[in-house]
């Protein structure tokens, strides 16, 4: 008996498939009669049916798997569901569920949704990029899996992060999914458990370091520029040393940014602006204390300093208002163990060993957690901040939820409801003495999709810090009085496409004004941007 390869149909293309929504004429035209149940459903009916099915699942990882399967077979329906139910769906396709999905990646992997490029592929990266079926790639999210959320080195299993980010580019800003490409650079892993795991999907050797790593990155960047010359390259979840090095090496050469450094900084600045609206105070009058001095913390500090300078402070005076505590204690000038990116925030002051002691001494108006240390903001720390400040600003930004420095309940309870709180992962509303508090989520999704949409719409060839400051200011202007009354310092996620379009307009305006694009500025920029937005409706 001989077998033959089945003739492909639109049912096998996630971009073209509409499933039971194909009407009778389409079923005849595409030879689908008999291949589908006879009843025709519209897209909204399909979405409602799938949502009912999804809500029956008992675990978030199961829901994640079902959503990824839906994306594999009917991409437009997947995005319809995501856009219409973003507040429910986003925690499933991204944080916090994506963290567990990455941990389980070797078991739940189904179909490829991006490219894996290994250290052994040196000399062949251009060919591998050519294997991707789409040519007009405008956004690439790339990771090497070394610092996945707060979970650490997950190697090739970190692919869940760029896949999730790409989904948010399309859902939250309308960058077309066929113009987006997730990539994992598999240079090995130093995670001993993964190296011993029989189901680990990546290269089974320790991480490549040094010149071999740098050469791989250089070839990769060159290949991207050749294959996709108009693409925005987003570096995601690299380890601290590589993250800063890559941003420094490429930010002024190609269209690139690091979301963990610049995107996190922008959304945190936006949160601070919202908090200060509640307090009626200026940014230049704050003293900030960070727990954690990695790429997120230093990136936030740098952007805040730039904003303080724009309010009239000198660079030196602005930096003196930002203090950092790392794993060894307060970052001060007398320490000789500081890597380069910490040194600009190393102030002349006595060394302090603990975070709580630093609060006693420095009396900050805000504490910002980017440490990945669950519970690091203890009840005594929250009470101390509330003793020093009438309205303490407490940002517990580490992801996923299991790494958050404190919970929303803890922040409100131990501050007697006076804290202005934001977290990296979502927390439900908190009821305290008959008052409901709605915590803000300082999620990068408020920033990077709009940045990307603006870059794509303007065909810009650079990303600048001014764009991230502008994004933060846009977010701040969109926080309503109703939001502030609820204690929420970010706009509702239900408005995320509106937020993204406004950010895109601001970013594109900068690109045209600063001559960062060769394209002529459209007569109606907002109309031009809105005209590029992807709509998944059949």
User: What pLDDT sits at residue 1?
Assistant: 47
Residue with token string 């859902």: 171
Per residue in 132-141, pLDDT (tens digit) is 999 999 999 9
Edge-to-edge order in the sheet of strand 329-330: 329-330, 322-326, 288-291, 366-369, 393-396, 420-423, 440-441
Residues 380 and 178: their CA atoms lie apart, in Å, by 50
Q: DSSP 3-state assignment of 420?
A: strand
- In the chain, domain spans: 97-254, 262-445
pLDDT confidence bin for 6, thresholds 50/70/90: low
The residues annotated with a catalytic role in the active site are: 94, 165
Per residue in 299-316, pLDDT (tens digit) is 999 999 999 999 999 999
Closest-CA residue to 264 (of 499, 451, 444, 473): 444
User: Taking a C-beta distance cutoff of 8 angstroms, is the pair 177, 113 a contact?
Assistant: no
Residue 282 has pLDDT above 80, yes or no: yes
Q: What are the tokens at 461?
A: 């060839």
- Cα angle value 334/337/340 (rounded, 5°): 95
Long-range contacts, 41-46 (Cβ 8 Å, 24+)? 42/538, 43/18, 43/76, 43/77, 43/80, 43/537, 43/538, 44/80, 46/19, 46/20, 46/21, 46/74, 46/77
Peptide bond into 96 cis (omega under 30): yes
Angle between helices 295-310 and 264-279 (to 10 degrees): 50
The whole-number average pLDDT for the span 153-171 is 98
**Fold matches, 97-254 and 262-445:** yes
Q: Which conformational region is residue 123 in: left (phi greater than 0), alpha (psi within -120 to 50 degrees), or beta?
A: left
Q: Name 87's Cβ contacts closer than 8 Å, sequence gap at least 6.
A: 492, 493, 494
Sign, CA dihedral 291-297-301-303, equals negative
User: Taking a C-beta distance cutoff of 8 angstroms, is the pair 410, 439 a contact?
Assistant: no
Per residue in 418-437, pLDDT (tens digit) is 999 999 988 999 999 889 99
pLDDT confidence bin for 7, thresholds 50/70/90: low
Per residue in 212-249, pLDDT (tens digit) is 999 999 999 999 999 999 999 999 999 999 999 999 99
Average pLDDT along the chain:
95
Closest-CA residue to 85 (of 169, 172, 180, 173): 172
Per residue in 352-364, pLDDT (tens digit) is 999 999 999 999 9
Per residue in 485-524, pLDDT (tens digit) is 888 999 999 999 999 999 999 999 999 999 999 999 999 9
The whole-number average pLDDT for the span 385-394 is 98
Rg (CA), the chain: 24
Residues 238 and 244: their CA atoms lie apart, in Å, by 9
User: Taking a C-beta distance cutoff of 8 angstroms, is the pair 13, 74 a contact?
Assistant: no
Closest-CA residue to 266 (of 427, 445, 405): 445
Residues 302 and 464: their CA atoms lie apart, in Å, by 13
User: Taking a C-beta distance cutoff of 8 angstroms, is the pair 223, 126 a contact?
Assistant: yes
User: What pLDDT sits at residue 397?
Assistant: 96
Residues 19 and 36: their CA atoms lie apart, in Å, by 7
Residue 453 has pLDDT above 50, yes or no: yes
- Structure letter (DSSP) for residue 522: P
Q: DSSP 3-state assignment of 75?
A: helix
Residue with token string 């400051």: 469
Residue with token string 């990824």: 68
Residues 251 and 397: their CA atoms lie apart, in Å, by 25
Beta strand pairing call for 115-118 and 288-291: unpaired
Residue 276 has pLDDT above 60, yes or no: yes
User: What pLDDT sits at residue 225?
Assistant: 97
The whole-number average pLDDT for the span 179-187 is 98
What is the assigned CATH class of domain 97-254? alpha beta
Per the confidence metrics, is the pTM higher than 0.75? yes
Residues 223 and 126: their CA atoms lie apart, in Å, by 5
Name the burial class of residue 457, with classes exposed (0-12), middle (13-18) and buried (19+) by CB atoms within 10 angstroms of its CB.
buried
User: What pLDDT sits at residue 487?
Assistant: 85
Q: Which conformational region is residue 18 in: left (phi greater than 0), alpha (psi within -120 to 50 degrees), or beta?
A: alpha
The whole-number average pLDDT for the span 8-19 is 90
pLDDT confidence bin for 120, thresholds 50/70/90: very high
The whole-number average pLDDT for the span 82-104 is 95
User: What pLDDT sits at residue 400?
Assistant: 86
| Span 262-445 CATH architecture | 3-Layer(aba) Sandwich (3.40)
The whole-number average pLDDT for the span 46-53 is 98
The whole-number average pLDDT for the span 25-36 is 94
CA–CA distances in Å: residue 73 to residues 22, 37, 227, 325, 429: 14, 16, 27, 47, 35
User: What pLDDT sits at residue 317?
Assistant: 97
Q: DSSP 3-state assignment of 195?
A: helix
């Amino acid at each position: 008996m001989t077998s033959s390869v089945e003739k492909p149909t639109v049912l096998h293309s996630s971009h073209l498939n509409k499933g039971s929504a194909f009407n009778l004429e389409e079923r005849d035209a595409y030879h689908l009669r008999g291949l589908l149940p006879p009843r025709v459903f519209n897209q909204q009916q399909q979405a409602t049916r799938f949502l009912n099915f999804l809500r029956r699942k008992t675990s978030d990882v199961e829901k994640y798997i079902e959503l990824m399967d839906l994306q594999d077979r009917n991409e437009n329906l997947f995005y319809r569901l995501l856009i219409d139910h973003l507040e429910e769906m986003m925690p499933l396709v991204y944080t916090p569920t994506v963290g567990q999905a990455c941990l389980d990646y070797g078991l739940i992997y189904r179909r490829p949704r991006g490219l894996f490029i290994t250290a052994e592929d040196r000399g062949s990266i251009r060919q591998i990029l050519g294997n991707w079926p789409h040519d007009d790639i405008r956004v690439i999210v790339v990771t090497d899996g070394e610092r996945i959320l707060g979970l650490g080195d997950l190697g090739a299993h970190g692919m869940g992060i760029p896949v999730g980010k790409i989904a948010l580019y399309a859902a939250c800003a309308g960058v077309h999914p066929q113009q987006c490409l997730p990539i994992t650079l598999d240079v090995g892993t130093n995670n001993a458990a993964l190296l011993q795991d029989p189901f680990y999907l990546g290269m089974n050797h320790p991480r490549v370091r040094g010149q071999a790593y740098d050469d791989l990155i250089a070839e990769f960047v060159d290949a991207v520029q050749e294959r996709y010359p108009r693409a925005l390259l987003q570096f995601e979840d690299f380890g601290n040393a590589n993250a800063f090095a890559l941003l420094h090496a490429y930010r002024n050469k190609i269209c690139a940014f690091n979301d963990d450094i610049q995107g996190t900084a922008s959304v945190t600045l936006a949160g601070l602006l919202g908090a200060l609206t509640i307090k009626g105070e200026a940014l230049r009058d704050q003293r900030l204390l960070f727990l954690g001095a990695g790429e997120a913390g230093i990136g936030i500090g740098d952007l805040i300093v730039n904003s303080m300078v724009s309010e009239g402070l000198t660079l030196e005076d602005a930096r003196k208002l930002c203090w950092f505590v790392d794993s060894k204690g307060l970052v001060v000038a007398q320490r000789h163990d500081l890597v380069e990116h910490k040194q600009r925030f190393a102030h002349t002051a006595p060394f302090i060993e603990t975070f709580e002691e630093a609060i006693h001494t420095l009396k900050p108006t805000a504490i910002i957690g980017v440490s990945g240390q669950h519970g690091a903001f203890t009840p005594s720390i929250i009470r101390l901040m509330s003793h020093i400040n009438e309205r303490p600003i407490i940002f517990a930004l580490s992801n996923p939820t299991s790494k958050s420095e404190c919970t929303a309940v803890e922040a409100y309870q131990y501050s007697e409801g006076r804290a202005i709180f934001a977290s990296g992962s979502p927390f439900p509303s908190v009821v305290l003495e008959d008052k409901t508090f709605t915590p803000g989520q300082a999620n990068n999704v408020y920033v990077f999709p709009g940045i990307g949409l603006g870059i794509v719409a303007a065909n810009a060839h650079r990303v600048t810090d001014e764009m991230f400051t502008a994004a933060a200011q846009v977010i701040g202007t969109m926080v309503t009085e109703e939001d502030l009354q609820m204690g929420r310092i970010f706009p509702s996620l239900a408005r995320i496409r509106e937020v993204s379009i406004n950010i895109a307009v601001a970013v594109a305006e900068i690109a045209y004004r600063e001559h960062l694009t060769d394209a002529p500025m459209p007569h109606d920029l907002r109309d031009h941007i809105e005209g590029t937005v992807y709509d998944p409706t059949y």
